[in-house]
Structure 1
């Protein structure tokens, strides 16, 4: 990629990388490095483990060999970083989708690390050119070229710290898979515990529907108050019952009175029987 990428179109992590180089005090050297980058003098660039290897065409016929690398994090440090990433679902989702989360630096700083180098001294560069300055214009051109690589693939930045894209995604998936298994196992244990407790409770306090309303123990006499019904019956509450014969209203006729009186005597008799039964008293 030889075309210059405008700052406004760069991804934030790519621009963050280039801002460090732009802070270099030797501006003339940076101008030459940027010119090499724009003109396509970086002939090839490849990644070998955590190191960048490149060939840069200089003023001589033979291109110069450039190597560049950062200090890699240890396996233990990467373990902490991956663990922290897995706790943040947004980070994990974006990384698994090949995107760089906006606040990815927080994952590293919370573990006492820095994804980006603090100074140019943290970027170790070596060039086969006779210029002993670091960075020389050839190293600077490769540095600018890396900004484009970071925009295309943010995992390149992680690779410079010792972890490839495949390793990070695999570690994240395994860790999140194990967590899901642990959560499912914990949920299963809780459900089993709840089931056992429910079974014990039901066995101890089992209720049979057909016996729910039964009470076979004698009642405490002092707590039982039985009040015989008053002379008033349901018939008194309902009032006169209309009795008709041949469409003639006989509700107040002697025949109606006989029927009403008979029903009232029946109700009174039944009420007395109910009181005797409740008091367990024979007739």
Structure 2
């Protein structure tokens, strides 16, 4: 089996998979796995339902048998996920076009699930080699080549969780079609007619309560403010109107505004946390 494993820029879901593997603490074993992947020691990779089966040539004459799988979601869990997908036009449009939405994980986390495993231990694997370590270098080599498969077909991730691309797309089509028919008014209203009319005065109004468990309040990722982006404010001297004529005043104003911005940011976080209590 030829392989295309190279150190190149990859899609975000491929990077997530490789980051999971790179978290493994035995780095020398990972390096041997990379060598196996690059040298073509993985002879074949096949997908049977939600499991991956591979043949990896090791030091013995006969190749080792490797199997990898993830915990499948139940039918009920998949039903919730697909219903959520169908309610978001962008998800449905991209998935029906065979593309992976960039924020697809929101669909799963919103239903208490995770498309990606949290830890490498969450990925189940077996190898027929005598090495008791898991993952061994043969399993590791298949891990790396799976990243290539994910890049070619991101729907493989769904398959490892128990649903094929065809199953998901067909379920989405049926659900969206059923929803369109339900919105019709006994056949009197065309099913593609918009369900709601736009009311400008209520555009920003939201009357439903927020689910507090889904709201996470965190400080900004850095201490930078808009002042750091825009730079110093040029203050002209009254007499000369020269922006550079009074640098001391400019510095003082910038220091004051910086303290105001940071104080406002901190107060906003405190206020938001009080509201969420």
Residue 21 of structure 2 contacts residue 120 of structure 2 at CA under 8 Å; is this kept in 1? yes
Query: What is the aligned partner in structure 1 of residue 69 from structure 2?
Result: 69
Residue 5 of structure 2 contacts residue 145 of structure 2 at CA under 8 Å; is this kept in 1? no
Output the CA distance in 2 between the equivalents of 1:44 and 1:162: 22
Query: What is the aligned partner in structure 2 of residue 146 from structure 1?
Result: 146
Residue 5 of structure 1 contacts residue 148 of structure 1 at CA under 8 Å; is this kept in 2? no
| Larger helix proportion of the pair | 1
Number of equivalences: 189
Output the CA distance in 2 between the equivalents of 1:185 and 1:157: 39
Query: What is the aligned partner in structure 2 of residue 14 from structure 1?
Result: 14
Q: What TM-score do the two structures reach when normalised by structure 2?
A: 0.66
Residue 73 of structure 2 contacts residue 162 of structure 2 at CA under 8 Å; is this kept in 1? yes
Q: 2:112 aligned with 1:112, yes or no?
A: yes
Instruction: Provide the secondary structure at the position in 1 that maps to 2:184.
Output: helix
Instruction: Provide the secondary structure at the position in 2 that maps to 1:36.
Output: helix
Unaligned runs of 5+ in 1: 191-283
Residue 4 of structure 2 contacts residue 148 of structure 2 at CA under 8 Å; is this kept in 1? no
Q: CA deviation at 1:40?
A: 1.0
Query: What is the aligned partner in structure 2 of residue 34 from structure 1?
Result: 34
Instruction: Provide the secondary structure at the position in 2 that maps to 1:173.
Output: helix
Q: What TM-score do the two structures reach when normalised by structure 1?
A: 0.65
Q: CA deviation at 1:188?
A: 3.3
Output the CA distance in 2 between the equivalents of 1:96 and 1:68: 28
Instruction: Provide the secondary structure at the position in 1 that maps to 2:21.
Output: helix
Please list, as runs of the form range in 1=range in 2, the aligned pairs for 1:104-253 lying within 5 A after superposition.
Answer: 104-185=104-185, 188=188
Rate the CA distance shift 1:144–1:186 in 2: closer, same or farther, 3 A.
farther
Residue 83 of structure 1 contacts residue 175 of structure 1 at CA under 8 Å; is this kept in 2? yes
Q: CA deviation at 1:5?
A: 2.8
Residue 7 of structure 1 contacts residue 15 of structure 1 at CA under 8 Å; is this kept in 2? no
Unaligned runs of 5+ in 2: 191-277
Q: Deviations over 1:131-177 (max 9, x none)?
A: 01110000000111110000000110000000001100000000000
Q: CA deviation at 1:59?
A: 1.2
RMSD over aligned Cα atoms: 1.5
Rate the CA distance shift 1:158–1:181 in 2: closer, same or farther, 3 A.
same
Output the CA distance in 2 between the equivalents of 1:34 and 1:104: 29
Q: CA deviation at 1:110?
A: 0.3
Q: Deviations over 1:12-65 (max 9, x none)?
A: 111111110011110000000011011111100000100000000111111000
Instruction: Provide the secondary structure at the position in 2 that maps to 1:185.
Output: coil
Q: Deviations over 1:213-259 (max 9, x none)?
A: xxxxxxxxxxxxxxxxxxxxxxxxxxxxxxxxxxxxxxxxxxxxxxx
Output the CA distance in 2 between the equivalents of 1:132 and 1:167: 37
Output the CA distance in 2 between the equivalents of 1:138 and 1:150: 19
